[in-house]
Amino acid sequence: MSRCLSSILFLTVVLGLMCQGDARAADTVSEGSLVDRLPTGAVATAEVSGLASIIERIETSETLKGYLNSPLYQEAIKTDPARKALAGKAILEAQLGMDLWTIAKTYLGDRLVLGVYPPVDGHQPEGVLVIRVKNAADLSKLLEKLTPLAAFAGDAVSISDRAGGGKAFKSKDGNQVVITDRWIVASKSSELLSQTLTNLTTSRDSGLGSEVSWKLMAQQLGTQHTVQICVNLTKVSQLLGKRVVPEKLDNPVVSLLYGGLLEYAAKSPYLGMTVDISDSGYSIQSAVAGKVSDLDDAHRAMVLDPAQPLLPMTMEVPERLGVFSFSRNILKWYKAREQLLEPKLQPEFDKFETGLATFLPGKDFAEDVLPFLTGRVAFVSAPQDYSYLDGKPGVQLPAFGLVIELAKPTEGADILNVVAQTILTISNLEAAKQKRQLWVQSSESYHDVQVNFARYLQRPKGDQLATAYNFQPASALIDNRFILSSSLGLCRQLIDAQQNKRPVESATAGSIPNIVQELSPVVAARLLEANAAVIHAKSIQNGKTAEQSARELEAVCTLLRRMTAIHFDTVQYADHMRLELSGGWK
C-alpha cells in the first residue's frame, strides 16, 4: 500500500506541477512539425513542442515550492541517486553559466524530434535527434561554451567547422553533434546526420512527413500537440516478420475488452500517441487506424456497430468513486473464442462451464445464459454507508455495483438471482468458519422496485470490524437492468440512477464510446483518509514512523483533492480508434 501511495504521489506531483502555477499562454508553434525534416524510413518518431511554457509553469508553481520545502523532499535528496543527480546538475549549471531551468527553456523549449531507424546490419537501431532553438543567439553562446570544453577533452572529441556554417563535434565512439544557426542535430549515423542536415535547408516534401503512416496519423490526430509519438506499425511488422498483434490472444479479458482495438492495431499503418497539457488539465490520446467494416465477423463482437451502437451504460450515482462500463456482443465473442483465443486457453473455458454447473445445474452458458444478456455491463463504485453496522470496519472498502442489461429481463433475473443466492450460501459457510455474523436473506420495496438484500443475523458492533463487514449484498431488477451490489445503499442509488436516467448514453458527433472508465480522485482521497489508521500501520510495518506516514498521506490526499475526474475511454471514430486519458485540476 505504501509503494502504491508513493507511485500515486509521484504521478500526481509530476502532473500537478505541469498544470500549476501562473496561467500563461502556451508558446504558439510558429512552424509545423519537425518530422518532415527527418529522413524517410523511420520506425518511430517522438516530437515535443512548446516545452518552454510547461517548464515555466513548473518552475513558478506554488506546488513545486511547497514540495521543495517539504520534509518529503528533504528526505528524498538524502538518497544516493538524488545526491548524484544534484551534483551533475551543479556541474552542468557551472559549465553553461545558467541554471537548469534556463538551460531547459533555452535549448529544449521550442521544438525537438527524435527519429528511430531500423538497425543496419543487425546492429542496434539508429537514431537522429533534431532540436530547434528559438533564438540563434542562444546557440552561438552554447558554441562559445562548448568549443573550449571540447578542446579540453583532447582526442576524445574532435571539432570541425561546417561548410554551411556552424560546428560539428564528433566523439571517439562515433557520436556526432552539429550545431548550426537554430539547429542542434545529433546522431551516430553519418548518413542520417547528413540527410537530416540536408532536409533542414531543402524542401520538406521529401522528408518523413510524406510517408503514409505519419500522414495518416497527422490527419487523424492532428499535429499541434505537446508530445506526439508515431510508430510505423507496417515497418515494425516487416522487421518482426509477423503481425504486431498475435492472431489469437492469450488473455480472455483483454480479448473481450480490447480485442477489437488490438485487431485495428494489427492492421493499422501507425500507432500514434499525443500528450497535451493546458492550464486546466491534460489529455493523452493513443490511436490506431481502421474501420469496423475492415474487421472480420468475430472481431466485430468487440466493437460497436456504427449504424446502431449499443452505447455503454453510465449509471451516475452521487459520490461515485469510479465506473467501468462497456458494451460487447458477449455471446458472439464467446462462441468465437476458438478463433479469437489461443488453444491453451480453451480447456479453461471447459472448466469454467463445469464449475458453473454448481450454480446453474443443467444450464449451458452459451445457450441458456448469454442469450439473456444484451452485452451492456457496468461496474460502479462508491463509498459504503455502513448504516447496517453499529460501528465501522477497520479497513473501509468502497461499495461495488454490477449492472447487467438483460435482453429477457424476467428469465435473466431469475438466473442471476439463483447465482446470487448460491454465492450467499457459500459466503455464509465461509463466515461460519471465520466466526463472522451470518447473512439472512431479506427484501424491501424501494421506489416500487423489489430489492433483495442480505442482512446480518445480529448487527455487528465495533470500530475495528473485520473487512468482510464492508459487504451487504443486494440485488434488484429495474426495467431491463439487473443490479448486483456489495451494498444495499449503492443498490438503491443505482435504482435512482436508472429511474432518473439522463440522456447521457449517447454518442457525440463522429465518435462512439466503446469503453467508458472514470475515477474520482476526490472520492479516492476521502477513502484514503478513512483508512488513514491502516495506511499508517502499513507504513510502520515497513519501517516508517507514524509521523512520516501522516505527512505522505496528507500530500497525496491534497493533490488528489485538487484533481477533477480522470477519464480513460476507448472511442471509435469512422476511420480509427482511440484510447483517451484525460483529467484536470481545480
Partner 1 sequence: MPNLEPPAGLLAPLDFTSDRTWTAREAAHLLGRSQFGYTSAELDLAIQSGPAETIERLLNTQPEPIEFQQAELALRKTALATGEITDLKIWWLYRMWATANPLAEKMSLLWHNHFATSFDKVRSVAQMLNQNALIRKHALGHFQQLLHGMSRDTAMLVWLDGNANRKRHPNENFAREIMELFALGVGNYTEKDIQEAARAFSGWHVREGVFWFNQSQHDETEKTVFGKVGNFDGAAIVDLCLSQPACPRFLAMKLLKTFVCSEPKQELIEAVATRIRLHDFVMLPVLRELFSSQVFYDGANRRSLIKSPLDLVVGSLRALAATVKWPSITKLLANLGQDVFEPPSVKGWEGGRLWINSSSILLRTNFATELASTEQLASLRGSVTDVASETSDSIVAGLGRLLMGDLVEGELHASLVALHQLAEGNSLQKLRATIQLILSLPEYQLY
Least CB distance from residue 519 to partner 1, whole Å? 24
Residue 81 lies near partner 1 (rule: CB under 8 A): no
* Candidates 121-129, 219-227, 399-407, 535-543; binding stretch for partner 1 (CB under 8 A): 535-543
Nearest Cα to 522, choosing from 558, 483, 472? 558
Residue 433 lies near partner 1 (rule: CB under 8 A): yes
Least CB distance from residue 542 to partner 1, whole Å? 5
* Candidates 166-174, 256-264, 420-428, 543-551; binding stretch for partner 1 (CB under 8 A): 543-551
Residue 465 lies near partner 1 (rule: CB under 8 A): yes
Nearer to partner 1, 43 or 527 (CB): 527
Residue 551 lies near partner 1 (rule: CB under 8 A): no
Sole residue written with cell 525537438: 112
Q: What is the DSSP string of 326-375?
A: EE--HHHHHHTHHHHB-GGGHHHHHHHHHHHHHHSTT--IIIIIGGGEEE
Q: Are 315 and 325 in contact (CB under 8 A)?
A: yes
Residue 17 lies near partner 1 (rule: CB under 8 A): no
Nearer to partner 1, 360 or 534 (CB): 534
3-class SS of residue 23: coil
Which residue in 464, 504, 574, 575 binds partner 1 (CB under 8 A)?
Answer: 464
| Separation between Cα atoms, residue 162 and residue 193, nearest integer Å | 13
Least CB distance from residue 536 to partner 1, whole Å? 5
Residue 395 lies near partner 1 (rule: CB under 8 A): yes
Nearer to partner 1, 436 or 578 (CB): 436
Residue 544 lies near partner 1 (rule: CB under 8 A): yes
Parallel, antiparallel or unpaired: strands 44-49 and 111-117: antiparallel
Which CB contacts under 8 angstroms, 24+ apart, belong to 266-271? 267/294, 268/233, 268/576, 269/212, 269/213, 269/216, 269/232, 269/233, 269/234, 270/213, 270/214, 270/216, 270/217, 270/230, 270/231, 270/232, 270/233, 270/234, 271/230, 271/231, 271/233
**Cell reading at 107:** 535549448
Q: Are 237 and 318 in contact (CB under 8 A)?
A: no
Nearer to partner 1, 280 or 541 (CB): 541
Sole residue written with cell 515497513: 542
Residue 3 lies near partner 1 (rule: CB under 8 A): no
Residue 533 lies near partner 1 (rule: CB under 8 A): yes
Least CB distance from residue 523 to partner 1, whole Å? 21
3-class SS of residue 77: coil
Nearer to partner 1, 366 or 534 (CB): 534
Residue 78 lies near partner 1 (rule: CB under 8 A): no
Residue 142 lies near partner 1 (rule: CB under 8 A): no
Burial class for 3, CB neighbours closer than 10 Å (0-12, 13-18, 19+): exposed
Nearer to partner 1, 165 or 543 (CB): 543
Which residue in 540, 564, 568, 580 binds partner 1 (CB under 8 A)?
Answer: 540
Residue 541 lies near partner 1 (rule: CB under 8 A): yes
**Cell reading at 359:** 450454480
Nearer to partner 1, 80 or 350 (CB): 80
Nearer to partner 1, 74 or 346 (CB): 74
Report how far apart, in Å, the C-alpha atoms of 480 and of each of 112, 326, 328, 406, 489 are.
54, 16, 17, 5, 20
- Dihedral Cα 391, 534, 585, 284, nearest 10 deg: -120
Residue 435 lies near partner 1 (rule: CB under 8 A): yes
Size of the site for partner 1 (CB under 8 A): 23
Residue 534 lies near partner 1 (rule: CB under 8 A): yes
* Candidates 316-324, 366-374, 429-437, 508-516; binding stretch for partner 1 (CB under 8 A): 429-437
Residue 72 lies near partner 1 (rule: CB under 8 A): no
* Candidates 140-148, 193-201, 333-341, 528-536; binding stretch for partner 1 (CB under 8 A): 528-536
Q: What angle do CA 550, 551, 555 make, to 5 degrees?
A: 115
Which residue in 309, 393, 401, 583 binds partner 1 (CB under 8 A)?
Answer: 393
Parallel, antiparallel or unpaired: strands 390-393 and 461-465: parallel
Nearer to partner 1, 407 or 534 (CB): 534
Least CB distance from residue 216 to partner 1, whole Å? 50
Least CB distance from residue 287 to partner 1, whole Å? 42
Least CB distance from residue 389 to partner 1, whole Å? 13
Crossing angle of the two packed helices 233-240 and 212-221, in degrees rounded to 10: 140
Q: What angle do CA 116, 231, 268 make, to 5 degrees?
A: 150
* Residue 249 DSSP class: B
Least CB distance from residue 540 to partner 1, whole Å? 5
* Candidates 29-37, 53-61, 234-242, 533-541; binding stretch for partner 1 (CB under 8 A): 533-541
| Separation between Cα atoms, residue 228 and residue 218, nearest integer Å | 10
Which residue in 434, 445, 500, 508 binds partner 1 (CB under 8 A)?
Answer: 434
Residue 438 lies near partner 1 (rule: CB under 8 A): no
Q: Are 501 and 515 in contact (CB under 8 A)?
A: no
Please state, as a whole number, how many other Cβ atoms lie within 10 Å of the Cβ of residue 164: 12
Please state, as a whole number, how many other Cβ atoms lie within 10 Å of the Cβ of residue 502: 9
Residue 74 lies near partner 1 (rule: CB under 8 A): no
Which residue in 241, 355, 510, 543 binds partner 1 (CB under 8 A)?
Answer: 543
Binding site for partner 1 (CB under 8 A): 393-395, 433-435, 464-468, 533-534, 536-538, 540-546
